[in-house]
Amino acid sequence: MLFKNVIGQQDIKLHLANMVHQNRISHALLFLGKEGSGALPLAIAFAQYIVCEKVSKPAAAAGPSLFGEEPPAADSSVPVLDACGECPSCQKMQQLMHPDIHFSYPVVPRKPGDKPLSSDYMQEWREFISKYPYGNAYDWLQFIGAENKQGNITALECNDIIRKLSLKSFESGFKILVMWMPEYLGNEGNKLLKLIEEPPPNTLFILVAENESLILQTILSRTQLVKIPALTPQDVTAALTARAGLQEEQARQIALIAEGNYREALQLTRHADEDWQSLLRDWLNAILKNGPIAQVKWVDEVSKQGREKQKQFLRYFNHLLEQAIRLQAMGAGHVHLATQEQDFASRLNKIANLAQQQAIIEELDKAAHYIERNANAKMLFHALTIKLYHILAHKQVASIE
C-alpha cells in the first residue's frame, strides 16, 4: 500500500517520511487513531515505505555516466515522499507477502481446543485488507466467521512473534511487526516487554490502536506515540466521489454526518437513498401526538430493519440534534445541512431545549451501542420511545410537520 492510496493525512505522511529520512525511527511506534481515520492503512504504507528499495537505496548513489559526466548532486534534505510501488519489495508488500514484515491481529479458534495464530488467518487477512482497509475489529471478526466468539491475541501468538523477530531479515534491512488492535492483548502481552525494550538491531514494532486506555500500560510506556487525527470532511468527500462514485453534494452530506470516520461514511452510502427524515418525523409524532398505538406500530416497523439500518438511523437523528444545538448556539452560518434538514433542525429546537437534546443524544448513543451487541430491536426501541417521551414530556408540542 502506498501513501497516495491512504485518504488524506498529508501532515502525518510527511512526518513519517521525515522520520525515515532523518533516521529518527523509534523501535516501537503506536499509531493511535479513531475508527475510520486510516491508522491501519497508514501503518501498512509506512512499513512498505521503509522496505522500498527506492527509499533505502536512492538513485543519487549512482556513479558517473558512461559519457564521463558527473551525476547531478542529490538534495539530501528532500526525502522521497512515497514508496515506488515497482521494486520487488513493494510488489511483495502490495500482496502483503514480504518475508520481513509480519502481522498480528485478533483471531478466534476455528474449532474448540484450537490455539490459533495470526498466521493461520493470513489468507483472510490479505483479502480483508484488500476489500476493507478502513474496517474495524468487528468487521474483521465477522469476516473470519467469529460470530459471537471473542477475538484475542494469545500468549502463543506472543511466543510466535518472539520467534519470528529473533530471525535474521531475509531481504530488507528491517524486520517489522505490525500489530493491529493491541487492545485485544491481555496480560500475556508482558511476554513481549523485553523484546520491545531491547529489540534486535533494525527491528521495528508498529502498534495500531483505537483506544489508548485499553492497551497494557507496560507496553504503552515503551512506545512512541503517532497520533492519527480524524479525516477532514473535505478528504472524506473527495474519497467518496473518487472511490464510491457518489455525486459531490451527496458525498458532502455523508461526510459531515460521518465526522471523519471513513468506515462510517461507507456504511452511510449503502443507505444514502433511505428517507430517514420521514422515519424520524413519524417517530416524533408518535411520541408527542399520536399515542401508544402509533408508537407500537412505529416500533414494529423499525424493528424489522437490519441492525445497520437501525444504527444509521440513530446516527442520523444524533447528527440532526448536534446541528440543532449548533444552530441554536451559533446561528445558521455554522450549520452544515441541506435547507430541508436545516428546517427540521429548527423544529427540533422548538420541541426540546439544550438539556433535553443532550439527554436524547446520550440515549441514542447507548441504543446504538446495544444494537451493535445484538440487543433485541423491538425491546430496545420500545424502551427508547418511552425514555424520549419522558425527556420531552413537559414541552407541549402538537406535532413535527
Q: Does domain 3-228 have CATH number 1.10.645.10?
A: no
Is the full-model pTM beyond 0.85?
Answer: no
pLDDT at 74: 46
Q: Residue 139 region, left (φ>0) first, then alpha (ψ -120 to 50), else beta?
A: alpha
**Residue 208 host element (H or E):** strand 203-209
**Residue 32 host element (H or E):** strand 28-33
* Lowest mean pLDDT, pick from 296-305, 328-337, 373-382: 328-337
pLDDT at 163: 93
Residue pair 41/1 in contact by the 8 Å Cβ criterion:
yes
Identify the band that residue 332 occupies on the pLDDT scale cut at 50, 70 and 90: low
Largest CA distance in the chain: 91
pLDDT at 55: 83
pLDDT at 57: 65
Average pLDDT over residues 108-125: 90
pLDDT, tens digit, 9 for 90 and up, residues 231-243: 998 999 999 999 9
With a cut of 50, say whether residue 399 has pLDDT above it: no
SS3 (DSSP) at 330 = helix
With a cut of 60, say whether residue 44 has pLDDT above it: yes
Of 131, 132, 123, 83, which is closest to residue 103 (Cα–Cα)?
123
Q: Where are the domains of the chain?
A: 3-228, 233-269, 276-392
With a cut of 90, say whether residue 129 has pLDDT above it: yes
Q: Give phi and psi for 239, each to the nearest 5.
A: -70, -40
Of 320, 344, 346, which is closest to residue 331 (Cα–Cα)?
346
pLDDT, tens digit, 9 for 90 and up, residues 143-161: 998 877 888 999 999 999 9
